[in-house]
Chains A and B, each alone.
Chain A
Amino acid sequence: MNCHRVQNLLSAYLDQELSSEERRLVRNHIFHCPVCSESYEELNTLKNYLGNLEPPTPEPQSILNFSLMFPESMDPHYHTLFWGKRLLLTGSCIFLFLVTSFSLFPVTAPTGVARQQAEATPFVRRPTRSQIVQEQKHNLLAGSTVKKEDKEKEEVEIKPWWEDSLRLPVVPVSHR
């Protein structure tokens, strides 16, 4: 092996990246050639310098500072809590809205959709339009006296919306 070839292989020799045969040849050459030997020593010192370079000081406190970049993401329950809270908040808002609107404006007279629904329910038989006209005529004829039956009807209608639902049969909940 000549000097030129050895010089080109010195770095790889230093890094132990040569085949065993190349390594042996380079080793033999360095042993006999002062020029290549000096090159080898210099490169070896250089490699040692680089290998012993100290980590840069001062070191940053935290390199991957996700806690600073995204503080909420550091909470392990962040993702579940985040969406859970949102759902809960939305749900309770809707519930509150429904409760207040129904208690502030109780359904006093079955009008529109409410009336149709009332008519559809088999429990309370509503008088038909012609029956009402008939009754009104009858009332007019009989003076301002209101029938006892009508009074009851009125009372039923004034009752708040939840009264009926409270009367609904309760489905027994089975506990295991």
Chain B
Amino acid sequence: MLQTGLLSLARSTPDTFQEFEKLVKTHEKAFYHFAYRLTGNHDDALDLTQEGLLKAYRAFDRFKAGTAFDRWVYQIIYRLFIDQYRKKRRRPFVSSLDETPPYLDQEKQMEVPDHSRLPEDFALRHELGETIQQALLRLPEDFRAAVVLCDVQGFSYEEISNILQCSLGTVRSRIHRGRRLLREYLKPYLGGERRTNL
């Protein structure tokens, strides 16, 4: 893979490289964030982002100038994720809405920290962030990508349908179902009196 990368680098002009680098620099953190929310760990996220960017660079001549560069790269990252990371998934996910995950009951009884009494805001955020990430990882990949693109990345349904290459209706359905699952997983954190203002 590195060799093909080198080959394409030798073929391309320095202008192409600099143009690509400039475009990436403005979005790379968001790409990484997206990859992290999909994979749930740094190593896989970095691999996924870098592989996606290398793939994007090799196909850069096919990128239509004037179209959204970031959406194009998100699409590449998402496809890579579906192709590669699905295969090495460590545990099977629960795709059925009716099926209750076996560990949900334990989680419900889990101690919910009283956020108002915790002085360290960072620790709180970090802990909650971890919990949310774990919940995200329990979602089917398609739902996860749609929800992350919508709520974390802030894309509109139309932009998401562009990235995921599916219809608007599918986007709406995936986000709806993904959120419903998340609401189940994170129920203890969403209650009225326990709601924290992040």
Which A residues contact B (CB, under 8 angstroms)?
Answer: 8, 10-12, 15, 17, 38, 41-43, 45-56, 58-60, 63-66, 69-70, 73, 76-79
Contacts and interface: CB of A to CB of B under 8 A. Distances in A.
Contacts of A42: 183, 187, 190
Contact of B14 (A43, A52, A56, A79): A79
Interface of B: 2, 5-6, 9-10, 13-14, 17-18, 21, 24-25, 28-29, 31-33, 36-37, 42, 45-46, 49-50, 53, 125-126, 128-129, 132-133, 147-148, 150-152, 154, 156-157, 172, 175-176, 179-180, 182-183, 186-187, 189-190, 192, 195, 198
A42 to B, nearest CB: 4
A11 B147 CA distance: 10
Contacts of A8: 176
A53 B182 CA distance: 15
Contacts of A76: 14, 18
Nearest to A62: B28
B42 A60 contact: yes
A52 B197 CA distance: 10
A50 B14 contact: no
A63 B190 contact: no
B183 A63 contact: no
A62 to B, nearest CB: 8
A48 B10 CA distance: 46
A83 to B, nearest CB: 10
Nearest to B29: A55
A65 to B, nearest CB: 8
A50 B175 CA distance: 13
A127 B180 CA distance: 107
B176 A11 contact: yes
Nearest to A48: B198
Contacts of A56: 32-33, 36, 42, 45
A153 B132 CA distance: 100
A140 B29 CA distance: 97
Contacts of A78: 14
Taking each of A8, A41, A53, A55, which has the highest tally of chain B beta carbons within 10 Å of its own beta carbon?
A53
Given A42-B190, A48-B198, A50-B152, A69 B32 contact: no
B5 A70 contact: yes
21 contacts: A10-B176, A11-B175, A12-B176, A15-B156, A38-B192, A41-B195, A46-B190, A47-B179, A48-B198, A50-B151, A50-B152, A53-B37, A53-B132, A54-B125, A55-B33, A56-B32, A63-B28, A69-B5, A73-B14, A79-B10, A79-B14
